[in-house]
Structure 1
Amino acid sequence: MAVVPDYVTGTITLTSGSANFTSTGAALQSAAVRAGDEILLPAKGLVLVIASITGENAGTLVANCPAGAAGAAQPLRIRFQSDGSRLTAQAATLIEALANGNLAAIAALTSAADKLPYFTGPGTASLANFTAAARAMLGLTGAADKLPYFDGANTAALATFTAAGRALLDDADATAQLATLLAGIVTTPINLGDPNGVSSQGGICFGRRGTLFSEQLLFSDGAAGFRGAWGVNAANQVYFRVADNVTDDVVFTGSGISVFDGSGTRAVYHQNLIVGPVGQIGGVPSGRIIETGSNANGTYTRFADGTQICRVNNVVGTFASPNRIAGTWTYPAAFADGNATFSVAANGIGTMANTKFGFHFAMDTITATSARINAITSAGFVAGETETFFATAIGRWF
């Protein structure tokens, strides 16, 4: 093979400590300069080995340029490596790679039917079973949106793997998968018997209706167009809608059942809602039906309609004048105003003489919280005499 002369076209600039070099007018790629060729600097007695050619006038060195070779616009001289030298270098690289034990590990295996070699570590290998089922899977031809599966003991096929299927499988857990599934259901109602899910056709519709609801089950009776709906609202409460109307709902909660009828919320009472604190909002009952209580001033009963009854059996009347014994009763629960009606009796417990039972009762100083009970007689009371009264007051607490 003829010796190729050195390439001496152009100049070269080398920078100390850098592997990059540039040239001027060299056309390195066009001249077929390659990795392994050498840059000669005869005046400096240095040889630099090329690692790569990156452009017509640029490349890199195998090692950073030494200070003694640095300089700008130096005469360029490149000595080409012969093909034999290149082949020898490549062979040496291959031998080095084969000498790492990997090839020897594979060669040391004893081949057998239905076995596949594999590495168990650096320089070590073993055989794995290569079954007919595995070969069937590897024999498939891949395609977009396809998923391999076994359709027999040793046969395989491809199934369509839709975007919806991938969206479900990439969810982190069952909760996320359920959300993915429900998102598809509530955005596109599923109708059985009623394709519109709304009008005069009888049927059932699963899906979302309106902005106030999430999952729903809608019913239509056909001719009359009446619809009922079971579902879950934004507050995670179960509800039953008695018509296609945002104001007519029955809502079930842990504390009871409420009915929305367009003019407000109405509670549906059950045995646990009969006795307890009553209440009202704007004159409309909002609590339980009956409230009872007692204290040192007696007992009281309040009703949801506003009626209140107070009772006492121990109001002590004391001498006020020869014609009157009086005692003030503070009610066990306040009335709304001083318009209560009263029933009063004496229980006969006191120091008043039995001959003085010819008296009557009168009420005065009546307020929302108390009233004075008076026993009045013409027989004449004596200073120090007392009497104990029974009393009942009926009025309103709102």
Structure 2
Amino acid sequence: MAGKSDYVTGTITLTNGQASFSGTGSGWQLAQIREGDTVIDVTGATEFMGVIASITDNTSGTLTKPWEGPDVTAEYRIRYMADGQRSTAQARLLIELLGNGRLTAIAAAAEPAGVIEMLPGGSARLVPLTDLVSGANYDVQVANMAARAAFDGQVAGFAVLVADTGDGRAAIFSKLSNASGDWSAAAYVTGPPITLDITEVDEVPYGAPPDVTLTPRAGGYDVSFVIPRGMIIEPGATTTLASDQPAAVTFVPVTGGYRVDFAIPRGPTGDIDGVTPFWVTRLGSDADATAARTGLGAVGAPGSAADNRIAVFDGDGNLLKDGGKTIAELTPANGSVTNVKLADMAQATIKGRAAGAGTGVPGDLTAAQVLAITDAYAKSNILGAVSQSAGVPTGAVIERGSNANGEYVRFADGTQICTRTQSYPSVSFSNVSGSIYFAASAPAAVFPVSFSVLHDASIKTFASGKASWAATGNQPTLSSWPNFYAFAEISGTAPLVVYYFAIGRWF
């Protein structure tokens, strides 16, 4: 077979002293570059070569030893190993593997029927096929741990299957030595018991679908039923599942209701077929009605009753009787509130009780009493004095005020804003600072109310006929704006209006 041409697609990066290499624009895996092929550096006068140990993907691989040539990122050639050379090497490896004495050992062993040859430690051994396919092996099975004691004197390797180790699980124990009672730890072959407990049964309207919820817990499941009113629920099939499978419930429609089929994981004995769970008895037949009502009291039916009337309990709670009223008679016309409940109700009031436990007819509550009871805000109490206790608002939502120092707004969340407007009829911009002019320093202005935390304080100026601005002379305090200088680009006098602004918190 003709040899393949050298592979030259893309560029390669080789680093002196490193076995790993990478490519750009290459497709080494697609081109079937393999172990034994040769990388050739064709960039210099000396062609350095490296044998490939492995190819990771289309753009990376490793050499059998670190690259001995210079660092290079350039064109390259990868020369394929000839198929004949590769086949010769594989054949030589096979001959070496077959020549280590293992085939000789197999050939020397007798081969009766029903055995398989194994080579533990280099010598052939015949193992019965049943030992490999029969699962867990043991010499004897006993019912419990007490019965295992009869075999305490057996030799090392003797195995006993105990059906119930004390918690419902089965396990195999092996003698570790010839010493009496020297048993291994339990090798469990079944899981813990699986139990079902009904924790809740809820009733839903007739015609609604039934439902059941299985909640996993230690040792089994808690079962919650949703049963449609007036529909029968009868027990169905119980199917055994593998121990690692989740329990499942299926509702199958039947005449007048549903049949409940359970699928339960295998328990400690490996089977629950033939076992009647307690819920089957509870839901199964009228004959067991008394047992099904355990804990509910002996409730009896009324002697007689008229159609559509409400059933009520008698004095001792153990007997239902005719309530004497139909649903229609107890339902107000058009779904309205009865006149008794609306009697003596004043306009724009709500029935209730403002204070005291009291009994009897509720009184009329005013809007103010309703707000006090519900701790709500309305247009009558949104504006007012704000207050707080430990950061919780106890007063109005917004407070607005003013004094000789300006105006302020306080909010219930602690935010505070202060403003002030000051007018000067004539201000002289006669002081020179470079190519601009400024007026005499204006004094600090006191806030209309003080801050507990100040976030920002600013001053803006507007001079008639001039472009002007303010520059502060120092820092503001919690109680005042700083003094400032008014600047303009030209000299002269002009009326000046100053706008002060500050924002922070009042608590």
TM range (shorter): 0.3 to 0.5
> What is the TM-score of this pair, normalised by structure 2?
0.29
When Rg is computed on C-alpha atoms for both structures, the one with the higher figure is 1
> What is the TM-score of this pair, normalised by structure 1?
0.36
- Structure number with greater CO (CA < 8 Å, separation at least 6) is 1
